[in-house]
Amino acid sequence: MARCTEVVRQWEILRAIDAVRHGIGIAKLAAELGVHTRTIRRDLDALGRAGFPLFDEKVNGTSMWKLKERPFRGLESMGLSLMELCALYFSRTMLCALAGTPLLDDAERGFAKIERALPTGCRRFLDELPRMMKAKPRGRKKHDERRLREVLGRAFDATLRHRRGAMRYASASSQRTKEYLVEPQRIVYADGGIYLVAWVPAYGGMRTFAAERIETFAVTDEIFTPRPLPAEPFADSMGVNTGPPEKIVLEFEPGAAAFVREREWHPSQVIADGEDNRVVVTLDVCVDYALRAWILSFGPDVRVVSPARLADTICEAANRTRQRYPPARVEPRFSMLRMREAG
């Protein structure tokens, strides 16, 4: 724990120095971090020995600490500042978690290039940071990794070059495998899966295809003009969907109120106080599986106020869930014990 605290403090020192153009004094660093000036001096010495390009210059008799603007040739060629590069290196656990298995190797190769731009001592220091910062990804979809890599490679190529693709797709909704001619518009990572958003000329509209269900994908020579896309994918859904949004009003019990307030469940949310310490959440999202699953995850701590048909759907799902469990049985010996206690 002591070592972790030291590394984090040294990281904060680097950030504080980088944030001040004209440098910062040891006394101010000590005050901001709540430690003795001797501790700051030891930290600066350790960072310097690790290879970080720190230097000090006298300003009105006070030593002001700075970072060299262009310390490493590798950084200059990438156009990154030292702290920008360190931040990328620091956040690699989150980026790799979001990248998903098919893109993980590419992400690691990118970070290997970043590593080569840093001195060995800097890398050793920064290697300590990801141990204290981890990302827990949501459940990822199962897939044939080799086939998915090949499919995604061709889909990326078709998307970038604006080429139509001939695709064979195993639909989950229809339980059939169909042939499609598609115009790939965007590839999206969401909810542990990778999706291809494409215009389907035969349907005259956009469709979303789960990457692991694409059995084959061939890039053709036919060129298409990209279609307008929303700034954010699936912006009107709690999950992966492109349906029309509706006004959803939910009332949460006091036991769930703090948990609900602390999170942004959707950019459209409005949270207001309800009666008896309840909270009322209003959302503008489409009514889909993701929304229903999210509401049901709160069990008895939530009530759908509107729309009525969504309330009926949730009620029916709750009833079906209850029917899946037999009535609780009381063991005979416990039954006798309760009778004695009562009498």
Identify the DSSP state of 300. Answer: G
pLDDT of residue 80 exceeding 50, the answer is yes
pLDDT above 70 covers a percentage of the chain that reads 79
pLDDT at 342: 54
pLDDT above 90 covers a percentage of the chain that reads 46
Phi, psi of 188 (to 5 degrees): -125, 135
Q: Which residues pair with 62 in a beta bridge?
A: 59
Is residue 149 packed enough to be buried (19+ CB in 10 Å), middle (13-18) or exposed (0-12)? Answer: middle
Phi, psi of 222 (to 5 degrees): -75, 125
The predicted-structure confidence for 22-75, as pLDDT tens digits, reads as follows 889 999 999 999 899 999 999 999 888 888 888 888 888 888 998 876 555 555
Ordered by start, the domain boundaries in the chain are 2-67, 73-132, 145-223, 246-323
pLDDT at 97: 56
Architecture per CATH, domain 145-223, reads as Roll (2.30)
The predicted-structure confidence for 245-289, as pLDDT tens digits, reads as follows 999 999 999 999 999 999 999 999 999 999 999 999 999 999 999
Residue 7 pLDDT grade (very low, low, confident, very high; cuts 50, 70, 90): confident
- CA 289/CA 164 separation, integer angstroms: 30
- CA 325/CA 139 separation, integer angstroms: 26
In sequence order, which ranges of the chain are alpha helices (DSSP H)?
2-19, 26-33, 37-50, 73-78, 82-90, 92-99, 101-116, 120-132, 145-161, 254-261, 289-296, 308-323, 332-342
pLDDT at 2: 46
Domain 246-323 grouped into CATH 1.10.287: no
Q: Specify whether the CB–CB gap between 125 and 50 falls below 8 A.
A: yes
Q: Which tops the pLDDT comparison, 290 or 333?
A: 290
Q: Specify whether the CB–CB gap between 70 and 84 falls below 8 A.
A: no
The predicted-structure confidence for 169-185, as pLDDT tens digits, reads as follows 998 888 899 999 999 99
Residue 121 pLDDT grade (very low, low, confident, very high; cuts 50, 70, 90): confident
Q: Give residues with Cβ within 8 angstroms of 52, minimum separation 6.
A: 14, 67, 82, 121, 122, 125
Architecture per CATH, domain 2-67, reads as Orthogonal Bundle (1.10)
The overall average pLDDT reported for the chain is: 83
pLDDT at 164: 96
pTM for the whole thing? 0.65
